[in-house]
Structure 1
């Protein structure tokens, strides 16, 4: 079974398993994080950071950018985002924080499920296509989960006498604008 097929099957089984439950259990959260991690890098905790060119620097098993980490509240007691994102627990905290902040019903079924979280998570990095993210990675993610509009825009931020440009996330938008926030994910430690 190919990694793409396995990830899609994993997400489909997860969506069926939680059905209409309003509460997200630790086990459901763990399965969701595992699916997203597997779809990102096959959960390779040794991957480190990759640089595909200007504005396309991604780190850790979830391949998270600096802008995504900032938008997730800069989790971790680390002096630099690379250290956090190379640490699976800290990287998962970033994913959970981001999803709890921006969780949206992408497929219009009235629920925010792991499938919606995965689409938003992968689309946040897939927007890197115009920012230099390697095409093979983006292409695989688009085929895996389909197109979900998300927005990354460069924003000029004033920093004293000089201006610098940084990527900043706007609220990811799904095809269905009737966004309904669902249950909050909780961070759960990885299984040993």
Structure 2
């Protein structure tokens, strides 16, 4: 029977493609990003305010050094921080840069704690209260899209089920 006439395999193939896209992207999910945004600013462009020892700006309360670490997107730090798409892209780039060297799993808890505490924030006990606030916004450690498939299995699953004849 042709592949297109096998509904179960077709649905599995579509889900597998979604998993592969998520795995290839490998970054913070929209849900987790939204929880962080709500904690930081109510998810509004709130401008800049003094925070501990420097200014934090915009939707994700991005500091100048954070903006530099994420690759200096947009036309400037404050402008980017107050533009949701630019700021979200900055947070994604920052997470992709540091999650691999943090020693922590790539999940919402780690991303939130890194956002709050810097590149190794997921190991810092002082970031737990921040994580608790993110959880109050509806996120869990597994608020990552499609984290249920271990990354090393994803390509095996897709090739096995997409290209194996029965």
For structure 1, list consecutive stretches of 5 or more residues without a partner in the other structure.
Answer: 1-20, 128-138, 147-181, 184-192
Q: Give the corresponding residue for 2:97.
A: 101
| CA displacement at 1:22 relative to structure 2 | 7.2
- Partner of 2:29, secondary structure, is helix
Match of 1:90 among 70, 82, 86: 86
Q: How many residues are aligned here?
A: 108
TM-score (norm 1): 0.47
- Partner of 1:57, secondary structure, is strand
* Structure-2 change in CA distance of 1:33 and 1:73 (3 Å): same
| CA displacement at 1:42 relative to structure 2 | 2.3
C-alpha RMSD of matched pairs (Å): 3.3
For structure 2, list consecutive stretches of 5 or more residues without a partner in the other structure.
Answer: 1-18, 133-150, 153-166
- Partner of 1:24, secondary structure, is helix
- Partner of 2:73, secondary structure, is coil
The structure that is strand-richer by fraction is: 1
The structure that is helix-richer by fraction is: 2
Match of 2:110 among 96, 116, 119: 116
1:1-192 matched pairs, under 5 angstroms: 24=22, 29-43=29-43, 45-52=44-51, 55-76=53-74, 78=75, 80-104=76-100, 111-124=105-118, 142-145=128-131
